[in-house]
């Protein structure tokens, strides 16, 4: 029975991967709408032919990897169960008859190490892909350093979660999901609080913005937005990437506005001020706290669904999966599959909310700066630096894009500029297309 299920899972995955290959490389279309051709939103107006080619090629490969690697993880976990490897891990981890948490911790380490080694070639390929296309500048030794740090940080946080979770499942088989959710709230807030000061510095060096003149401009902008800010931080990402970025992280007195040094080196002060105004828009509109609330509610729904689905799967297919009861640590691969699957299928909703928030932040930045020219050039430079797909296909946008595609962001700026009559004369073609879009 287990062998048949394993073969069926492999065949199903292969069929899915082939289907996604044809969709991504031959079926998906991200053509520029006729109304936007020749405008500043059209990548042909700001990218070279080589950049256009590399952008299309690089995006397709990355999109294909996204859609096939996550289901491949599910396949691996199912095969670990079907083949009895999970049961073997449990047996090897049984080094303490008295302390169950020692056994569970040892099992997790074996599983984590096994899957890390298994997926290592894929991670190296992704690194090399980014390097080949000129996005990554990171040396392999630095990549491996980050890889090892990430292993132990991820394992440490997962260990805490798994030990507590299986202890709750054992103690309260019916209500474990509710107790786990209640514990998740302070844990999630604690992790968000310490990440900027304890976790992020493990990977990069953070320091106050060295350009004090620019910092004064940013702080003046923050003051105009009624945001209490004393420092802006920069991070030395040029050692690892050519991509551009800025973000807000943390909560409370540990919250930070962070600029990558690649952004500082590649954009003008006006463009950087627009990016900062965008990040301030997230703060003013309380997107961080809305995100925390949505995350907590999502965890509640996910834990409740797992509490219903997992016992049912074990009762129906426990023999093939070699799982006797949910409280057995050998059931962890099944739990991880369910968590990953629920996160994957919820991507369209979470991404939709995120894209809405990003659009609101763009609009806020336009209201605060009134600088349409810098907004457009910022988005163009971001697209060029990251070889971004300006107008992705439907499934790619729905499942992958937490930000609106650059085509939409530039057009949003154009519509805002038309509405407020601040659009530069050099962007008349964009103005016409924006008016056309509004008429539709």
Question: What positions carry a catalytic annotation?
Answer: 279, 362
Q: Cα–Cα distance between 222 and 218 in angstroms, integer?
A: 6
| Cβ within 8 Å of residue 259, ≥6 positions away | 209, 232, 233, 234, 235, 246, 272, 275, 276
C-alpha distances in angstroms, 416 versus 208, 364, 367, 438? Answer: 33, 10, 9, 11
Read off φ and ψ for residue 206, nearest 5 degrees.
-110, 140
Nearest partner of 406 among 392, 395, 393, 418, judged by Cα: 392
358 annotated to bind ligand: yes
* CB distance 36 to 407 below 8 Å: yes
| Strands (DSSP E) found in 241-360 | 246-249, 256-260
Q: Cα–Cα distance between 437 and 363 in angstroms, integer?
A: 17
Half-sphere exposure of 73 (CA within 13 A, CB side): 24
Long-range contacts of 312-319 (CB under 8 A, 24+ apart): 317/5, 319/1
Instruction: Give me the torsion for CA of 56, 57, 62, 63, rounded to 10°.
Output: 50
Collapsed DSSP state (helix, strand, coil) of residue 235: strand
Annotated binding site for Zn(2+): 278, 282, 358
């Amino acid at each position: 029975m287990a062998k048949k299920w394993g073969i069926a899972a492999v065949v199903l995955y292969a069929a899915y991967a082939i289907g996604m290959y044809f969709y991504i490389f031959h079926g998906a279309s991200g053509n520029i709408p006729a109304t936007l051709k020749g405008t500043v939103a059209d990548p042909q107006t700001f990218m070279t032919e080589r950049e256009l080619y590399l952008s299309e090629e690089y995006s397709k490969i990355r999109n294909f990897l996204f859609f096939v690697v996550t289901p491949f993880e599910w396949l691996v976990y199912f095969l670990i169960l079907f083949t009895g490897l999970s049961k073997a891990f449990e047996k090897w981890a049984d080094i303490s008859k008295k302390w169950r948490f020692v056994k569970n911790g040892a099992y997790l380490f074996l599983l984590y190490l096994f899957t890390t080694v298994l997926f290592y070639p894929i991670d190296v390929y992704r690194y090399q892909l980014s390097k080949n296309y000129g996005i990554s500048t990171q040396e392999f030794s630095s990549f491996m350093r980050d890889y090892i740090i990430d292993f132990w940080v991820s394992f440490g946080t997962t260990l805490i979660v798994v030990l507590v979770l299986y202890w709750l499942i054992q103690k309260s088989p019916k209500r474990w999901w509710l107790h786990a959710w209640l514990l998740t709230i302070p844990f999630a807030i604690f992790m968000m609080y310490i990440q900027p000061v304890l976790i992020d510095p493990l990977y990069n060096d953070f320091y106050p913005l060295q350009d004090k003149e620019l910092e004064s401009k940013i702080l003046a902008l923050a003051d105009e937005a009624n945001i209490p800010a004393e420092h802006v931080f920069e991070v030395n990402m040029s050692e690892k990437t050519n991509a551009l970025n800025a973000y807000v992280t943390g909560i409370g007195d540990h919250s930070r506005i962070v600029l990558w040094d690649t952004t500082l080196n590649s954009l003008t002060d006006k463009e950087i001020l627009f990016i900062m105004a965008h990040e301030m828009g997230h703060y003013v509109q309380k997107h961080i706290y809305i995100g925390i609330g949505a995350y907590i509610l999502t965890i509640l729904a996910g834990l409740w669904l797992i509490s219903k689905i997992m016992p049912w799967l074990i009762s129906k297919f426990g023999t093939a999966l070699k799982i006797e009861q949910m409280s057995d640590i050998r059931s962890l691969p099944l739990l991880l599959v369910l968590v990953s699957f629920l996160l994957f299928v919820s991507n369209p909703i979470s991404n939709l909310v995120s894209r809405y928030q990003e659009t609101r932040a763009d609009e806020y930045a336009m209201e605060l700066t009134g600088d349409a020219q810098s907004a457009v050039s910022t988005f163009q430079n971001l697209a060029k630096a990251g070889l971004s797909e300006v107008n992705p296909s439907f499934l790619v946008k729905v499942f992958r894009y937490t930000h609106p595609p650059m085509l939409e962001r530039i057009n949003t700026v154009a519509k805002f500029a038309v509405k407020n009559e601040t659009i530069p004369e050099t962007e008349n073609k964009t103005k016409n297309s924006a008016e056309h879009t509004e008429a539709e």
